[in-house]
Chain A
Amino acid sequence: MAFLVPCPNCGERNVYEFRCAGEIVTRPNSDAPQSERTAYLYLRKNVAGEQREWWYHKLGCRKWFTAIRNTVTNEVTETAWPDETVA
């Protein structure tokens, strides 16, 4: 992997500077049934194509943001600050 990721704060940087925390999943309430919690913890869609992901600029500004990345081509088409939809 060697692609560029446009950090909303720092601009385009080498992917080595970042940590990808995977596809964005919604955390269930604490009283949600076990099956829902298991799905949240362990099950991922694992799409071949565009998905919305968590990214952290670990070796840079150390801010979290979201990105839309094509998992097949590693093309990052959009990055944005997290909003309430991912909180």
Chain B
Amino acid sequence: MNSDSVQHRLKPHPTQLIDYSKALLFEFEGRVVQAQEGDTIASALYAAGVRTFSRSFKYHRRRGLLCVAGRCPNCMMTVDDVPNVRACIESVRSGMRVRRQNAWPSVEYDALSILDRLDWALPVGFYYKSLHRPKLLWRIASPTIRRITGLGTLPVETEREDGQYHHEYRHADVAVVGGGPAGMSAALSAVKSGADVILIDDQTSLGGNLRFNTQTHSDLSGVKENTGYKVSVELSQSVHDSGKIEILSSATAFGIYEDNYIGVLRGDVLTKLRAKAVVVATGTQETPGVFEKNDLPGIILSSGLQRLIHLYGINPGSSALITTSTDAGYHTAIDLMNQGVRIAAIADSRANFPDHLQQAVDLQSEGVLILTAHAASRAEGGRHVIGGVVARIVNGKLTTEERQFDCDIFAMSGGYQPASWLLEQTGASLSYDDSIGERVPRTLPASVFVTGEITGTHELNTLLVQGRQSGTEAANKALGKSINSDHHETQISVKNSRPISAPPPVGLDNAARRFVCFCEDLTAKDIEQGIDEGFRDIQTLKRYSTVTMGPCQGKMCLKAVNRMTAERTGATIDEIGVTTARPPVQPVPLGALAGPSHIPIKRSPIFAKHLEMSAEITDMSPWQRAYSYSSPQEECMAVRERVGIIDVSTLGKIYVQGKDSGTLLDKLYTHRFSDLRQGRVRYGILCSDDGTIIDDGTVARITDDRYFITTSTGNIELVEEWMKWWMAGTNMCVHVTNVTSGYAAINVAGPHARETLSKLTDIDITADNFRYMRFKSGTVAGVPAMFLRIGFVGELSWELHFPAEYGEYMWDALMEAGREYGISPFGVEAQRILRLEKKHIIVAQDTDAVTNPLETDSAWAVKFDKDDFIGKGSIAAAGKRGLKKRLVGFIIKDSQVVPKDGDPVVIGDQPIGHVTSSRMSPTIGRGFGLAWVPSDFAEENREIFIRVGRQNFSANITLKPIYDPEGKRLRS
């Protein structure tokens, strides 16, 4: 064993979590430190002699272990490049790299600790007071302030591996949060009542404080053992043995949302847990005393010392001074004495000697100096505590009647506050109970139960009984059985036994460095000053001073701030209240919330063919489509001169069926479809009721009561939802079925499309018998298909829809049939150019969220003579008001220039419109496209200017398609 490690270790004891026979090595700031299995980083470092665990947020003061329970900010370190890891609850792993943070050049010699001497210059609200005038000052000061204050830094260079964090989803009848005696007892009884239970605990082992409780308890109901830690082991064993309780250890329930949705972080896994009922058994939190220099390393919460001694076998020092306001100080004194630590004195802020407590009587008979009505006034030391001064309390204030003691450990217990953050998030309310000096739950939501020390109960037997009760009640609630209607009141009213804690005075008035908030380096003076400046409400005081806003979120300071504010303003503790508890209770890495990056993709049933033909693939979220196979310009020429095929399986496809189909389509589309004859196809525009275009596509009437509709690729979900919405609640006899994935689709286009297709089909597709905008069913290469003779790209073309399973087969068949005509596949880019030459718009590319169909020259597709349709009133009103802008075609004069999508249309330097689509036209060899212009510009041949880069280029407006304006080719 490494000598470092042995030096401070005690002999093995059953409460210890460490295994002396198994050593682990890890790296700490360049040196190798030995730990024993079961050690946390903090316990191993303490055993190795480390006392300064971090530098404080603002003043760069040395900070040592304080809570040893993962609550306070003092031991946050950077572990394997992850900042702000709480070293006291992070188990040592072999080979991990650990370093301290917020110091320069190092924590042991931190040049920035000069700030500690400048505290007079940094009063509360410092930014607001001193950095607002001149305005520039804040901009200069802010980067420096940000650099020298704060916590760890995120690694910039090391990229987090994607997939480090995972999400999982769980369901339980009952979730128990807190694995102390009451929580374990609740979990066991909930299981007994037939519930599935998940038990969440943030420590490395179950048992809570009971793990290191060495007292003997009499007449414990339901357990055989009577020594605290043995009861803990027995309960924990039962929980493990029950086989029905899922235990999440080292797991933080950081938030509870509606309907008991609980966020749990366990290492790199974020669990989203839905429970039918929740038992909150989060216990209480010991708080520090507030006195001068109460933040020196060596000043530790009494429960923290107990953890070091009992869980990690650490001998914390040689002589201890204890300041307490509860019985806890006496228990800690006994524990310390048993390890051979000399007790310099115990200062008890309560007026009377605790006769009820055998430990106190024993200590007194051992000759330990016990000073009642005394509390800590200040600590002494620089790098570490070397002594402390306690003073007599008169009328709740410290006097100058002081006594000094040398010590190397200063234990403090400033009373308890409930760990109520999670409970409060459920909507439960708490109020202050004078008789025990703690806030306790008063009202609870129906499916939330509470048990354990958080209810103000502190006697072991009662905790066990209460836990069992609430576990049974929660199980009954979850399983829909009847529950005792006043269960909440019953639970809450059981409280007893921990004698009232006398709040210790807040140091001597005006003394500096009485730290209240360890996270943000706020002193009692800061808080008092803030209150005196008028921030008498705890919510505004929080925002002004930043108290409770640090990593501990008020766990260490809230009780003190609440009491100080009450005292100073003359209000009651309840009137002052507490700051709002919001998730997360403990810091959660953003990466954990984000989880792994899942990017879903869709591929058409013909996708493999595109890869086979070495197509360039483009993401058109969520679809992956073939952008181009050779070059878009060449593919355009193939379509214009020979024949091309494009995979359009990504189009949305919908069947609308039933006798009222026509009525529905008339209501939704601007065009009329009830009069569409069987076997015909019509273009349709869908508008929302404010008259803006939401989608367009083709509507084909297959039979009297059956329509086949296509939508834009990205809009199928929306169109399906939209159609169903307008049907909802009506008595229309109509069914809307999304068949998008059932069909593959290929558009065969070009002058040789007919020859190509006629080699494969059994139907008559001659010009006279299959005219433009007609629909037929037939077969292609033996596969049943729907033929739509439409012309998006402006050529003779058929859009074939056929069962998706035949996608690749059909592609090959068409390529083979077209080979003699020089067939070429074309991708989405060629299609975009071709349709642009025909001035066919693409919704959401050429239109936006305020475009109506009149502005896109689509008035021909809007039938105002229909009784009603969605958008009618608004489109009509827009027409009446007069159109402000129009979508027009343009051709650039300079044959070298092609504007980009989005380039502005300008007069001089003033934008008056913008380009929506722009390409090089293979037909005319110039840049051309579509652009929004003011409506009075919308005249054939009118000159406009388009800003490309820094130069304006002349262009002419064209209202007609630049290719085949009469539409002869697509009708051929």
**Which of A's residues lie within 8 Å of B, judged by CB?**
1-4, 14, 19, 21, 27-30, 32, 34, 37, 40-41, 54, 56, 58, 62-64, 73-74, 82-87
Contacts and interface: CB of A to CB of B under 8 A. Distances in A.
Given A37-B873, A41-B690, A74-B258, A87 B721 contact: no
B728 A87 contact: yes
Interface of B: 257-259, 261, 274, 689-690, 717, 720-721, 724-725, 728-731, 738, 867-869, 872-874, 877
Nearest to A56: B721
Contacts of A1: 257-258
Contacts of B872: 30
Contacts of A86: 728-729
Contacts of A83: 729
Contacts of A34: 873, 877
B259 A2 contact: yes
Contact of A3 (B259, B725, B873): B259
Contacts of B874: 37, 41
A2 B257 contact: yes
Nearest to A36: B873
Nearest to B272: A2
Given A37-B873, A73-B258, A85-B729, 15 more contacts: A4-B259, A4-B274, A14-B261, A27-B689, A28-B873, A34-B877, A40-B689, A41-B690, A41-B874, A54-B725, A54-B728, A56-B725, A62-B720, A64-B724, A64-B725
10 contacts: A3-B261, A14-B261, A34-B873, A37-B873, A37-B874, A54-B725, A58-B721, A64-B725, A83-B729, A84-B730
Contacts of A84: 729-731
Nearest to B689: A41
Contact of B730 (A4, A40, A58, A87): A87
B167 to A, nearest CB: 12
B386 to A, nearest CB: 52
Contacts of B720: 62
Contacts of A21: 725
A21 B258 CA distance: 20
Nearest to B261: A2
Interface centre among B258, B729, B731, B868 (most CB of A within 10 A): B729
Nearest to B717: A58
Q: Is chain A's binding surface mostly helix, strand, loop or mixed?
A: loop
Given A56-B721, A64-B724, A87-B730, A30 B867 contact: yes
A62 B258 contact: no
B689 to A, nearest CB: 6
B770 to A, nearest CB: 35
Contacts of A3: 257-259, 261
A74 B690 CA distance: 29
Tell me the interface secondary structure of chain B in the complex. mixed
A15 to B, nearest CB: 8
A56 B877 CA distance: 30
Contacts of B877: 34, 37
Contact of B729 (A14, A19, A87): A87
A48 B644 CA distance: 59
A28 B877 CA distance: 15
Given A3-B258, A84-B730, A19 B721 contact: yes
A78 to B, nearest CB: 16
A54 to B, nearest CB: 7
A62 B721 contact: yes
Contacts of A2: 257-259, 261
A34 B720 CA distance: 29
Nearest to B688: A41
A33 to B, nearest CB: 10
A83 to B, nearest CB: 5
A45 B717 CA distance: 28
Contacts of B724: 56, 62-64
Nearest to B730: A87
B783 to A, nearest CB: 29
Contacts of A64: 724-725, 728
A37 B738 CA distance: 31
Contact of A29 (B717, B729, B868): B868
Nearest to B867: A30
Contacts of B274: 4, 14
Given A41-B689, A63-B724, A30 B261 contact: no
A29 B872 CA distance: 10
A54 B728 CA distance: 10
A27 B279 CA distance: 47
A41 B721 CA distance: 19
Contacts of A30: 867-869, 872-873
A84 B915 CA distance: 45
Contacts of A32: 873
Residue among B258, B725, B869 with the most chain A CB within 10 A? Answer: B258
B693 to A, nearest CB: 16
B719 to A, nearest CB: 12
A41 to B, nearest CB: 5
A73 B873 CA distance: 37
A52 B257 CA distance: 23
A58 B738 CA distance: 13
A63 B690 CA distance: 24
A82 B728 CA distance: 6
A75 to B, nearest CB: 8
A56 B724 CA distance: 9
Contacts of A40: 689
A62 B729 CA distance: 15
A64 B720 CA distance: 11
A37 B876 CA distance: 12
A57 to B, nearest CB: 10
B232 to A, nearest CB: 34
Contacts of A4: 258-259, 274
A29 to B, nearest CB: 7
A86 to B, nearest CB: 5
A2 B262 CA distance: 9
A73 B446 CA distance: 13
A19 B874 CA distance: 25
A35 B724 CA distance: 27
Contacts of B867: 30
Contacts of B730: 84, 87
Nearest to B731: A84
A68 to B, nearest CB: 16
A26 to B, nearest CB: 11
Nearest to B721: A56
Contacts of B725: 21, 54, 56, 64
A37 B688 CA distance: 13
A65 to B, nearest CB: 8
Nearest to A84: B729
Nearest to A33: B873
A14 B274 CA distance: 9
Nearest to A27: B689
What are the nearest 5 A-B pairs in CB distance?
A: A82-B729, A87-B729, A2-B261, A3-B258, A2-B257
A66 to B, nearest CB: 8
Contacts of A29: 868
A85 B730 CA distance: 9
B616 to A, nearest CB: 32
A85 B868 CA distance: 19
A32 B728 CA distance: 22
B732 to A, nearest CB: 9
A2 B274 CA distance: 9
A19 B258 CA distance: 17
A87 B727 CA distance: 8
B863 to A, nearest CB: 12
A53 to B, nearest CB: 13
A1 B725 CA distance: 24
Contacts of A41: 689-690, 874
A57 B261 CA distance: 20
A3 B746 CA distance: 44
Contacts of A82: 728-729
A32 B689 CA distance: 13
A60 to B, nearest CB: 12
